Amino acid sequence: MDRVIERTRRIAVLDGHRLSDRAVDRLAMAAASLVLFSTDALFDATDRFRALRPDIEVLDGGLLKGGGVREAIVAEAEAGCVLLAVAEPIQRRRFLHQAVNGAIDAGERGHPTVAVLIMRPREVPGDVAVFSNTGEASGYGLAFALEIAMRRGVDVARILPTKGLYVRRTAEVGHKADVEAGGYGVKVRYRKVARPLETVLRGQYTLAVHSVLDVIGRRSTRAEPGAPARLQHDANVDAVLWLLRFFRGDVLLVGDTVRLRQPRERDAVVVEPTV
């Protein structure tokens, strides 16, 4: 396996004109190259990044026909990126619905992981928190947490639930990242709490990392091919929505080969995103 943690990597950006100056600066320093996607043909963020790093390679990902984060996730995965940076969404639930659908689409196309970094206009001090509200986590989630902590010069707080079984998909990726982090000097602190989400929301962290794995939902038999799946309330998805609403730092949603599970008869009614 190649190295998991990278000092700089190819990063995709959606609508870079909406990012704050500080967010642009962070991305420019963290990227080996950039792929810029846009939902508005009137804006081009190339000059913003080149003003900070004239030598950086900036590729034009083009105008997204679908006009959303779902299309951007698939496009960035096809362009060789695993990380997509975006500004704060205006419609949080709709954004999250589309992001999870994008992760499902990418998984179906053979991309093992995709991550979406939601960047706030201003920085929040603190370490990087990586946690699971349900006990289900991703090795890629830990790897991204360690990598971003290395870039920001902070440590990682792994927040685990005191009850329930802790399961980590792609555990080998997380283990390798753990080993590599020591070489970069990144420290990891472990903490077990009864309510991981509440602990993160009340804590002082610069970034919160949460995984989304399999989700319950279905595709309408009457919809056109490729239509987004309708999702039910899912504990992992809902945790990210709470982070977007109440957490002051950046949020990283990690999709680890997200698969769509069919609902059972006794499951709750499928909910549509609000516009």
Lowest mean pLDDT among 93-97, 153-157, 257-261: 257-261
Q: Are 136 and 169 in contact (CB under 8 A)?
A: yes
Contacts of 202 (CB under 8 A, 6+ apart): none
Phi/psi of residue 245, each to 5°?
Answer: -85, -40
pLDDT above 90 covers a percentage of the chain that reads 73
pTM, two decimals, is: 0.91
116 in Cβ contact with 45 (< 8 Å): no
Q: What is the pLDDT of residues 191-243, one digit of tens each?
A: 999 999 999 999 999 999 999 988 888 877 776 777 888 888 788 899 999 99
pLDDT tens sequence across 44-85: 899 999 999 999 999 999 999 776 899 999 999 999 999 999
Residue 41 scores a pLDDT above 90:
no
Cα 235 versus chain centre, distance? 16
Compute the distance between CA of residue 64 and CA of residue 66 in angstroms, rounded to an integer. Answer: 6
Question: Of 10-24, 55-69, 155-169, 255-269, where does mean pLDDT reach its minimum?
Answer: 255-269
Question: How does pLDDT run across 180-190, given as a tens digit for each residue?
Answer: 999 999 999 99
Q: What is the mean pLDDT of residues 136-145?
A: 94
Q: Give the Cα separation of 27 and 89 in Å (integer).
A: 18
